[in-house]
Amino acid sequence: MHAPDAYACSHQFSGRAPRGASPDQGTTYSDYLHLAELKASHQPRTQERAESRFIGLHHTAELLLGQQIEELDLAITSLCEREPNVAAALTCLRRSRALTEQLINLLTLLPGMISPAEFATFRHVLGNASGVQSAQFWVIEILSGHRETARRRLRALDSSAEETRTLEGRLTSPNLWDAFLNVVGGSADDAAGLLNALSSGGPAAELANALRMHDLDWVRWRAQHAIMVEAMIGAVASGTGGTNGARYLWSRVQIRFYPILHEATSLVHQHRAASS
């Protein structure tokens, strides 16, 4: 199926040398990774060692989110081509799942690195700063197909003008669900219509399963995020970003990027049981 013009994708990644460029023989490991700049960005506001750990783990999370955005962008681009490249998209989605796993691991690591008492010694310096303001997190939600919540949150985010422009642009760009429908056909935008794709065992079924697992990985991330926050500030304390803390995060665990895919998966089993 040919990709509609509305699905045309063009993503440019800056900061890379052209392929074939001659390497700088004087470049060191530190120069290549800009370690001086990286270390300079690590600036705790207190003398508490726990705050330094807190910042370092969140820097790591943002770097992982950036890598995941790149993989999801590439997956969408591959599926938006006039001849969709499902194999390339599946490779990107596998790498994306590996990155999500590390993000989940960070959430598990954080309460083991910082006790509630330690967090209390520096939490005040965060002010209104909160993970809910992470523009990259909301880009992943948008790319995954969950536009509405991101659109509502955009009004409440304390984002820079550049971040706001990026998020607004993403809201009108193709996402993974648009790209999936480009492969299986727009008429399959319902559970019954997806049955053939899920039962075929072909590339479309592989892609559907990859999206479903991407979805469930982020369910795990939301649940672990709620557990982490509850471990650090308890079940009823408010979040710094104006939410009601763990209660808000637990409410988001029920979110699914692709509820139709999960419904269609149930139908596959129901039809199999009815025919046996």
CA distance readout (Å), 62 to 67, 69, 78, 244: 9, 10, 24, 23
- Per-residue pLDDT of 186-243, as tens digits, reads 767 788 878 777 777 789 899 999 999 999 999 999 999 999 999 999 999 998 887 8
Q: What is the pTM of this model?
A: 0.87
- Burial of 166 per CB tally in 10 Å (0-12, 13-18, 19+): middle
What pLDDT does residue 107 have?
98
**What residues contact 105, with CB distance under 8 A and at least 6 apart?**
none
Residues 20, 155: Cα–Cα separation, whole Å: 44
Task: Tally the residues of the chain.
Answer: 276
Most confident of 23-27, 226-230, 267-271: 226-230
Are the beta carbons of 145 and 257 closer than 8 angstroms? yes
Give 16's pLDDT tier (boundaries 50, 70, 90).
low
Give the domain ranges of the chain. 47-275
What pLDDT does residue 271 have?
64
Percent of the chain whose predicted confidence (pLDDT) is above 90: 64
Neighbours of 2 (CB within 10 A): 10
What pLDDT does residue 187 have?
67
Query: Residue 184 belongs to what H/E stretch?
Result: helix 176-184
- Per-residue pLDDT of 107-158, as tens digits, reads 999 999 999 999 999 999 999 888 888 989 999 999 999 887 777 777 666 6
* pLDDT, mean of residues 50-66: 97
**Please, what CATH class does the domain formed by 47-275 belong to?**
mainly alpha
Are the beta carbons of 260 and 191 closer than 8 angstroms? yes
Mean of per-residue pLDDT scores for the chain? 87
- Shortest CA distance to 142 belongs to which of 129, 131, 153? 153
